Structure 1
Amino acid sequence: MLFLLTTLLQLTHVAQAHVVITYPAWRGNNLVTNTTFPFGMQWMYPCGGISPTTNRTYWPLSGGAVALQPGWFQGHETALIYINLGIGENPENYSFPLTKFYINGPTNNPYPGTVCIPKLDVPRTVWSTQIKSGDRASVQLVEAARHGAGQFSCSDIIFTDDPALVPDVNQTNCFNSTDIKVSSVYLPGTPPNESCSSTPSAGEPGRGNLFAGVASPAATETNTVTGDGEGTRVPVVLLKIALMVAGGRYIGGF
């Protein structure tokens, strides 16, 4: 009963947000609309106007899972998603891009559904030289919506080399809904299958299926990024143009 009540309270808390990070634990509902934030907090770089939390999730040094729900608000049938890493107690910038992808939801109205990446690799040059077990960092999620706006949310983490400290990632907190299509994003002039990969395939460092091994209620090919470039591929230059038009700040590492 207590678990059910807690879950209902959590759902009530996030019901007004554009995009919700469900794993690792996010900083909180940041679409507060008032005279100070007339368009909502989630529009503010770098983390939607919310300070770091003490509720940090242990994350493996080499990278971990990220799950999100993109359809809590109207206007998110299509969107570009960036996931970046910032190092430190309260990072001022998130200069280590982890991945990028394009989503296509079932409707432009609010819709349920989850997208999960079971393993986002931290660049080897970062985890081998710049971080150690016990260091604090934050994962930043940027959603660029079809109208050109960028929403920002963050989850705070602690890097660890002890697998026992990392919360279990399973079908209850990491799955892909079959009605949300996910496609790779590429730079014009570059092979699309090199720009949206995380978990490497055997013998191919840095390449592979981003969502490999993710469980879904009824698995289909429409909710996975494929390493061979199948499905819709969206030039990432559109994200830069969209944020410039909206007066936002372009981040993403190119």
Structure 2
Amino acid sequence: MKITTLLAALWLASTQAYAQFSGQINYEIVRKIDPTQLRMVINGEPVKPGDPNFPTDLPDSRTSGQKSFISGNYVKEVSDDQNTMVSRVFPNGGPPRTTNLGRPFDEYKLVDLEARKIVTFLTMKGPEPKSYQSESPIERAPGWQLTGETKKIAGYPCKKAVVKLKNEPYSVWFTEALPVTYSPVHELTPEKGVVLLIEGTREQFRAVKVQPGNVSDKDVAPLPGAQPVTKEELKDIREKALADFRQQKMMPGDGGR
């Protein structure tokens, strides 16, 4: 009887630790650039690869960051470049000038760990801001294979698994030293543990800092009052807002920005 009581107490303690876990993980994201997928505006005019004005000095890869704030059953994901738009101009034939135009909305994702779904929130800027939300389930990639390899990443011991996502091979390093299950690439979420490194042929996610604590439930709470829309409707709202914003910023008389 005493053993049963002890086991029940240990199980309760472990579930409480999971529910009370909070922290922040900073990821560095490196992606190879595919010029054929780029949409660029030069001096107010859209250009495509093959156009004489299309830049030839583009880097082979692009580095950005993502902050994942974890508390209880929710993870709030904020990308460094998620709410920015970049304009490149060539004033009077001189060297190019890059300007951060911002964006007409704020956007972030909220991962519901318990329900295994992603909720995207988008709030239009302006005197009368309006918010939208769209949900999609997390579909975990099958066919995980542990390799037996281990190493430390961001100070935590990690195991390596290999898995395919959309026919692309990935190496996934995850730790079970943190009492939560999460991955910045949602389809590459292990059965248990936090992913600290993902290596693919065209992209890499690496945790550069793991900081337990200092994240409360209100920091990751769903945005109240957001209008539910479908994933396709949210995409249309986003693209229309960006097109209107781009046209406004590229109008003659604003210095070409």
Q: TM-score, normalised by structure 1?
A: 0.26
Going by fraction, where is strand more abundant, 1 or 2? Answer: 2
Q: Which has the higher helix share?
A: 2
TM-score by length of 2: 0.26
